[in-house]
Structures are given as structure tokens and as C-alpha cells.
Amino acid sequence: MFDVHSTLSQPNNSLHIPDGTPGEAALSRTTHLGIGAHQDDLEFMALHGILACFQRTDHWFGGITCTDGAGSSRTGAYADYSDDQMKTVRVAEQNTAAQIGQYSFMAQLAHPSAHAKSAGQRASLSEDLLGLLKATQPEVVYTHNPFDKHATHIGVLLATLDAIHQLPAAERPRQLFGCEVWRGLDWLPDAEKTVHDVSAHPNLAAALNGVFDSQITGGKRYDLAVEGRRMANATFFSSHCVDHANRVQYAIDLSDLINSKAPLENFMHDKLGAFTSETFGLLKSLT
């Protein structure tokens, strides 16, 4: 039996289950799992999974936030908040999002960001993720993409891959997606993009984006920026076709990495090579 408080490594970890289902059952019913670095990452990058499960009883979205929120920017009403106060606020905001989005569960692992960013300290995060992956065995996992420019996000991706590789092959997810946050993926050649239509329930998306008042009031209009990116992706995806979606998020399909321990750099070089070939190929065809 998976006991979150005795199994996870950090003393301030928490497990929130919006509908009150017992912990083990809430974990085991998960079909779509989001693994994000910070409070709000799931809502900004993994909306496709949230929508796939919203108001369903056969699909359930589970959320994992890896870090404790201590490093948040803060101005206005939050300007004088200590790190501990910000942690409390951000945990509450994330649990509110889980309630609104009808998540199966929301696990907050409470690691300091250094655990994700340092190869020498990442093992405890990988172990926590491994335990949750064993308990959930999701079909689909959403996490950060390898071209993200936030070091903590890349660290969480590396910990996620490490945890997946420690699972028995039969318990690994079928699909793994790297999603947009601190770098868009519109630059990828279309053949390399996974296009996630997130047009449904725009009011739900707006509510999820707006929950994180400490960050929005703190000087970053993430709510507007994320919505703008989704709408821009839909409009600029194709120059010659009528739009069939009004909100789109891009992802990189990382599923080939589920059963491969080849260096991540090799995968990234392939994607960059495809971009280079497409870009210079178009130029060459016109000159």
C-alpha cells in the first residue's frame, strides 16, 4: 500500500484528493498524469490532460508538483511574505486548481528547487516520482519539454525520465509528452509537433489560469500569456487552412524515450536538425 507521508522524502509533502476518495484508490484510477516543477505549471502546460478527464468517470487526471514554491517572486499584497508564507499560499492555490479541475489527486512533493537542478541531489526527487508512478501507472504523462529554458523544469524532466526507466517495462506509461512553459514549441517543424486541441471549456481554462493570484499579483500575467499562446498557436499553425481549433498547445512526443536510455542530447539534436533542414531547405528552394 502506498502511504504518501511515509513513502515520500520531504517532510512537508501533501496529498489532496478533491472528491474524498481514499488515497490508494485515487492514485490507482489515474489515467493521465501531469508532473510539473512548480505550482501552476500543470494548469499552464497539461491542460490537454485535464480536459481529457474533466467530468469523466473512466479517465482521471492526477497532478504532481515537485517543488515547494519558496522562490516565488512577490510584490503588492505578497511583498512582505516570507518563504514559508509563500509556500503555504502556493500549496493552497494548487489545491484549489485541483478542486476546480476535478483532479483525481494532487501530490505536492515540497522539494527545494536545488533538488531538481543539481544532479547530485536529484535522486530523492526521482525516488518520490518512482513511488507515485508505481502507485498510479498512468497511460499518459505530461511533463516539461527538453528545450525549456528554466533549469528547474529541465531537472524535473530528467528526474521523470529516470523514474520511468526504473519501472518494470510493463508498468511504464504508453505516452510521454514534453509541454510548453518557458519556451514555446511553435518553431518545431509541423511533422515534429504534437498538436493538442484545448479549445473545450474555455471558462474552465480561464478559472485554472486565474487561481494563482500570488504569481499574477506578483507581477507576471501568466493567465493572459498562456491564453495568448494557445490562441496564437491555433491561428498561426497553418497559413492556408481554416482553423479547426481556437486554442492549441504544442508538445514534443517523448514516448521513444520511455524504453530508451540513449542520451537526451541525441534526441534534442535530432529535433534541432529537423528544424535546421526545414529552415534552410525552404530558403534554398526559393533562391
SS3 248: strand
| Kind plus residue range of the DSSP H or E element containing 64 | strand 61-67
pLDDT of residue 39 exceeding 80: yes
The residue segments making up the domain with residue 42 are 4-285
**What is the mean pLDDT of the segment spanning 98-114?**
98
**Number of independent structural domains in the chain:** 1
182, 200, 225, 270 from 153: Cα distances, Å: 9, 27, 18, 21
In the numeric block, which cell numbers belong to residue 115?
533538488
CATH number at residue 126: 3.40.50.10320
**What is the mean pLDDT of the segment spanning 234-244?**
84
Q: Which of 4, 11, 150, 2 is nearest to 64 (CA)?
A: 4
Q: Which of 54-58, 80-84, 99-103, 104-108 has the lowest mean pLDDT?
A: 80-84
Q: What is the pLDDT of residue 5?
A: 64
**What is the mean pLDDT of the segment spanning 137-161?**
98
27, 81, 134, 136, 279 from 51: Cα distances, Å: 18, 34, 24, 19, 34
Q: What is the pLDDT of residue 238?
A: 83
Q: What is the pLDDT of residue 138?
A: 98
Average pLDDT, the chain: 94
Q: What is the pLDDT of residue 220?
A: 85
pLDDT of residue 225 exceeding 90: yes
Q: What is the pLDDT of residue 2?
A: 62
Under 8 Å between Cβ of 30 and 21: no
Q: In what order do the strands lie in the sheet with 140-144?
A: 14-16, 105-111, 61-67, 32-36, 140-144, 175-179, 248-253, 194-197
Phi, psi angles (nearest 5°) of residue 142? -115, 130
Q: What is the pLDDT of residue 95?
A: 98
Question: pLDDT grade, residue 4 (50/70/90)?
Answer: low
